[in-house]
Amino acid sequence: MPDEWHKGSAIYQIYPRSFRDTNGDGIGDLPGIIEKLDYIASLGVNGIWISPFFPSPMKDFGYDVSDYRDIDPMFGNLRDFKTLLARAHDLDLKIIIDLVLSHTSDRHPWFKDPAKKDWYVWADPKPDMFGEQVPPNNWVSVFGGPAWTYDKTHGQYYLHNFLPEQPDLNFHNPDVQDAMLDICKFWLDLGVDGFRLDVVNFYFHDRELRDNPPRDANLGAATQYEGDDPYSAQNHIYDKTRPENLKFLERLRALTDRYPDRALIGEGGDDHFFQLAADYCEGDNRLHTIYTPQLCGGKHKRLTEDLIRTPVEDFLNQAPNARPTWAFSNHDVVRAASRWCPDGDGFGHNPALSKMLIALLGCLYGSFFLYQGEELGLPEAKLKFEDLQDPWGRHLWPEWQGRDGCRTMLPWNKDTKSGWLPLAESHRPLNAADQENAQDSTLNFTRAFLNWRKHQPALISGGIDFLETHSETLLAFERKTADQTLFCLFNLENAEQTLPLFLTPQNAHLAFPKEKGEENTLAPYSFQILKGKEN
């Protein structure tokens, strides 16, 4: 169906600050995206997700919005965005924009307007056992420290689930909901094809401001940081994922459905994520699909079958009527090329691994995001403390360098300059211009695979069934529609593996890649997609 383009789609994520700088100020811009639209289309993707480009003080690099209806001058202007939108549509590329509705910048006019004080979450201090005035409850910020900041002018605390410069909006106020829906309408009228809804489960808070209870330590980390993290010590049942949020999502979906071929992609984190997915995608009146983070997190040194199979099967079993959107990398996590590479102290890479990961991501059930640079096989960049811009990374240094290692400038050629972050020297030899001319490059592999994938019904809309391999580094599954069956086999380790005979189906032939190695073997970090007899 035309309005179901998002199902099984491949979407390229652009982090605009680091994508393409056309004016030499060290910051990527909208003209840079326009310049590279043909490049993006050549990858074989269906659309683009652009991280925030709205006016912002950039305390959290665009996720602190001070004006929802304009473009920050560092990126360009609305005329540039309209040009981008028109040219992308000419290339049959959808445009998804990143909407941050849960909070604004503290420099947003709303936060400064006394008449709109109740558009945010304010609360009186409470006395502690010593009679001192303290925050109203025990909620903590994702980025560390209390989730409350005291304001002397008001004599109250305001809530911020992230930085103090990102005050949370009060979605219990109907005026806030109406204002946010009107902002969505503005961009839908402009012609965007949908929204990636940042922290979609953070919109509402508990009216009674009850303390969060302790969290089961066996659940592991609740954020990308895996060290001693106060946020991971709480069970976040009162500061997010509140039941009132579902009604607002229904209002947002009703608005979106007034426009043809639009999609709502929700992003959020929760200890019970698959229940969240089931609730937020229930029926046809909430989200179209949910951004599923289980394959992005962690700092694993070794990729094993269960790291892929378990989250996919858990999603299918616990949220059978929802649609997942997967990713291996994004602007917030360590790049998968390094995360799952056992060499290089967390910053190494292997081109064979990068190619295999592209194919694996494209073979999973659901849609997926491909983060800028994955098509080049870029590893995580190693930075010095003085180079860090991410406030989270500076706070946690030296245990973790934060999110800047995946946000460095994209190397378009060997002469690409450093920008707001230094260009990683490990990226320079992997530049796009050189890969264009190398037949066996990760870039040309990505193009070949994703353009082939577009014509495989089983990979777009087929179901998935995992096969038992009796090996923790051999992953096998079947994708199937009424008219096509594909057998997908992946070697997850840097060593040759012999395929068991039961994994080589009769009457099947190699569909991708066309070059076949030795019979019944998989080379290190390689894969085979076999096509069964057509029905």
Is residue 171 in a domain? no
What Å distances lie between residue 22 and 187, 221, 366, 416, 466, CA to CA? 25, 39, 35, 11, 46
Last residue of a domain, one of 388, 418, 453: 453
132 with 217, same domain? Answer: no
Residue 1: pLDDT over 50? no
DSSP string, 276-343: HHHHHT-TTSS-SEEE-GGGT-S--SS--HHHHHHHHHHHHHH-TTS-EEEES--TTS--HHHHT-SS
Query: What confidence score (pLDDT) does residue 530 get?
Result: 94
Residue 370: pLDDT over 60? yes
Q: Do residues 332 and 13 make contact, with C-beta atoms less than 8 angstroms apart?
A: no
3-state class (DSSP) for residue 401:
coil
| pLDDT tens for each residue of 272-323 | 999 999 999 999 999 999 999 999 977 667 899 999 999 999 999 999 999 9
435 with 520, same domain? Answer: no
Mean pLDDT of 338-361: 92
Give the closest residue to 271 by CA, choosing from 241, 291, 250. 241
CATH of the domain at 149: 3.90.400.10
Q: Do residues 477 and 464 make contact, with C-beta atoms less than 8 angstroms apart?
A: yes
3-state class (DSSP) for residue 217:
helix
| pLDDT tens for each residue of 235-250 | 999 999 999 999 999 9
Is residue 301 in a domain? yes
Tokens 């003209």 -> residue: 31
Is residue 164 in a domain? no
Element (H, E) at 38: helix 37-42
Q: Do residues 428 and 435 make contact, with C-beta atoms less than 8 angstroms apart?
A: no
CATH of the domain at 267: 3.20.20.80
Residue 271: pLDDT over 80? yes
431 with 487, same domain? Answer: no
Question: Which residues is 150 bridged to in the sheet?
Answer: 157
In this structure, of 136-150, 156-170, 307-321, 499-513, the range with the lowest mean pLDDT score is: 499-513
425 with 343, same domain? Answer: yes
Last residue of a domain, one of 410, 427, 453: 453
Query: What confidence score (pLDDT) does residue 37 get?
Result: 98
Task: Give 204's contacts (C-beta < 8 A, 6+ positions apart).
Answer: 171, 172, 240, 242, 244, 245, 248
Query: What confidence score (pLDDT) does residue 24 get?
Result: 96
Mean pLDDT of 367-378: 98
Catalytic residue numbers read: 198, 267
CATH of the domain at 467: 2.60.40.1180
Question: Which residues is 169 bridged to in the sheet?
Answer: 120
334 with 414, same domain? Answer: yes
d(CA 155, CA 224): 34
384 with 446, same domain? Answer: yes
Residue 98: pLDDT over 50? yes
513 with 472, same domain? Answer: yes
| pLDDT tens for each residue of 18-63 | 999 999 999 999 999 999 999 999 999 999 999 999 999 999 999 9
Tokens 């849960």 -> residue: 102
**How far, rounded to the nearest angstrom, does the alpha carbon of residue 188 sit from its chain's CA centroid?**
21
Please count the residues of the chain: 535
Tally DSSP H helices, then E strands, for the chain. 14, 20
Per-residue 3-state assignment (H helix, E strand, C coil) for 118-182: HHECEECCEECCCCCEECCCCCECCCCCECEEEECCCCEEEECCCCCCCCEECCCCHHHHHHHHH
Token pair for residue 21?
């700088």
Is residue 100 in a domain? yes
Strands 289-291 and 263-267: parallel
d(CA 198, CA 367): 17
150 with 224, same domain? Answer: no
Is residue 287 in a domain? yes
In this structure, of 322-326, 347-351, 456-460, the range with the lowest mean pLDDT score is: 347-351
User: What does DSSP assign to residue 448?
Assistant: H
Angle among Cα 359, 363, 368 to the nearest 5 degrees reads: 90
End-to-end CA distance of the chain: 22
473 with 338, same domain? Answer: no
Neighbours of 345 (CB within 10 A): 8
Sign of CA dihedral 409, 410, 411, 413: negative
CA R_g for the chain: 23
Task: Give 440's contacts (C-beta < 8 A, 6+ positions apart).
Answer: none
d(CA 509, CA 528): 10
344 with 234, same domain? Answer: yes
3-state class (DSSP) for residue 465:
strand
d(CA 395, CA 381): 18
How many domains are contained in the chain?
A: 3
Sign of CA dihedral 395, 16, 311, 351: negative
Q: Do residues 522 and 500 make contact, with C-beta atoms less than 8 angstroms apart?
A: no
307 with 381, same domain? Answer: yes
31 with 145, same domain? Answer: no
Domain residue limits at 429:
2-104+176-453
Last residue of a domain, one of 390, 419, 453: 453
